[in-house]
Amino acid sequence: MTKIDHVLVSVDWDLEYPNYLLQALSSGVSDHAPLHLSTGALGCPKKRFRFKSYWLKLEGFHDAVREAWVCSDTIVDPFKRLDVLFRNAAASLQAWGQRTTGNIKLLMAVATFVICRLDKAREDRTLMDQELWLRHTLKLALLGMASLERTIERQRSRMRWVKDGDANTKLFQAFANGKRAKNFIPKIKIGEEVVTEQVLIEEAFSCAYEELLGFDQARDISLDLEFLGIQPIDLNEPEEIFMEEEVWHVIKELRPDRVPGPDAFCGAFYQ
């Protein structure tokens, strides 16, 4: 009739402490498994550029991209030029976004605090015209920032099954935090040693993949493909230059809210 080795947690508590990690330890000789709660276990991940879909609706976005989309004439390789263009655009848009919108949560907290002070003042006296205008303006700004916050959290959570208008910021935050905690690797075992430090875990994964990929070296034995009866494949066609129509066809088929590559730009940016 009872449930043991469980923890009851509310959504508000989970959102307040997103870096806490709960793990079950070895039960040993007991029938119960001790639960260990680590504070700050997830740490702060390295910040990387992520294109914000709401930037497309802000005034001055196209001008910011146009100014950032520059590359030195000394770089002639088209792939290197494209890589430099994306890097310059990412750095410029990150700074432009901070200047344009700032810290949404902080702005909302300041607006809420000022509105609260004006509401308390209205209980004792009549507000002046300037105070009424400020209160009305802050309320409108707060509604806009709340909608913007839901858009940001929706994109961060990567939830696709929720329709527009059914936004719930707490739901998005909890979904994103849960996905982050699920992807977090608290420890790995190398031989008989258990590694918990993130730097050592990253080094272990790097070494493992390097050994898996191997190294380029001359082979002692070659395969006789003609004897095996394997038909040769003409590789000249894949090396042909892409036509502009083919490139635009692929771009138009991209999902606007998906990121097709490692550059963190969503499909809406290319379209």
Does the pLDDT of residue 166 top 60, yes or no? no
Which whole number is the average pLDDT over 251-268?
74
What does pLDDT average to over the chain?
78
> For the segment 147-160, what is each residue's pLDDT rounded down to a tens digit?
777 776 666 655 55
> How many CB atoms are closer than 10 A to CB 96?
20
> For the segment 169-205, what is each residue's pLDDT rounded down to a tens digit?
666 666 666 666 777 777 788 888 878 777 888 888 8
Q: Could you tell me how far CA 186 lies from the centroid of its own chain?
A: 20
In a domain, 1, yes or no: yes
In a domain, 60, yes or no: no
Same domain as 269, residue 238: yes
In a domain, 24, yes or no: yes
In a domain, 50, yes or no: no
On the CB side of 39, CA atoms within 13 Å amount to 1
Question: What's the predicted TM-score (pTM) here?
Answer: 0.53
In a domain, 36, yes or no: yes
Q: Count of domains in the chain?
A: 3
CA distances from 8 to 3, 77, 175, 191 (A): 11, 57, 17, 36
Same domain as 238, residue 205: no
Q: Which domain holds residue 20?
A: 1-43
In a domain, 39, yes or no: yes
Torsion on CA atoms 58, 59, 61, 63, rounded to nearest 10 = 180
Model pLDDT, residue 163? 55
In a domain, 122, yes or no: no
Environment class of 49 (CB within 10 Å of its CB; exposed 0-12, middle 13-18, buried 19+):
middle
Residue 16 pLDDT grade (very low, low, confident, very high; cuts 50, 70, 90): confident
